[in-house]
Amino acid sequence: MESRIIIHTIAILLALTACQEVKEHTAPAISDRDSVSMMTTYGINTLISDSGVTKYRMVAERWDVNVLKNPNKWTFDKGVFLEQYDKKFKPMAYIQCDTAYYYDKQKIWELRGRVVYKTTDGMTYRGEELFWDENKHELYSHVFSHVVTPERELQGSSFRSDEAMRHYTVNQSKGSMVKPQENSAQPEPAKDNKANEDTIPQPPKRQMKKATRGNTFNKQQ
């Protein structure tokens, strides 16, 4: 009798277990669909063209393309190197940074980290941020900027320029100075006689220039 009760109890427990809903262990669904890249490419070294004209060469370790974000953009989280060309395929400038974003609809580059923009004319920009507007052919930054030219060196709180850096503005400039020419020939010291004093010209002294804090430096060539 006792064995029958045990068997009957086991049968009831099995029946109750069978009636319970089976739970599936699944991961939660991805709600933010725009976080998924449409394309991810590694080891990029390619030429970028617009309307049949090669604009620049792009070198990057990783390239993510996302067309679902608003605005959609390209992401270079491992940094990027750009070599910009003119219409005759002649190098104009070199760009390098730690992180970059390209908004392809607006044609605007957002460069972050250790940003270096250097033209073939010897103009250099350094900072933690730089925007390049391809439509307006402008460069601008809203953070501390360091500009070096063949003639002077400037530092300021913000920066705006054309692509060639021929016309640029440095706001709240801290100072500038005329840079000495490298490898310039030094005149021989004049001998202590009147003949040499008359015949050997003395080079003009370079003047140190210092802008007052808070001024805006504008360069127009």
Is 72 inside any structural domain?
A: yes
Instruction: Give per-residue pLDDT as tens, 166-178.
Output: 999 999 877 665 5
Answer whether residue 203 is part of any domain.
no
- Tokens at residue 6, please? 């045990």
Of the listed ranges 27-31, 115-119, 136-140, 191-195, the least confidently predicted one is: 191-195
Q: What's the mean pLDDT in 189-216?
A: 42
Helices marked H in the chain — which ranges? 2-19, 194-199
Determine the Cα–Cα distance for residues 212 and 215; give it in Å rounded to an integer: 6
Single pTM value for the model = 0.66
Residue 147: give its domain's CATH number.
2.60.450.10
For residues 18-31, average pLDDT: 55
Whether 94 and 121 have beta carbons less than 8 Å apart is answered as: no
Maximum CA pair distance of the chain?
140
**pLDDT at residue 22 in the model:** 53
* Structural domain boundaries enclosing 137: 68-80+94-181+208-220
pLDDT at residue 146 greater than cutoff 90: yes
Q: Read off the pLDDT of each residue in 83-94 and give the average, rounded to a whole number.
A: 91
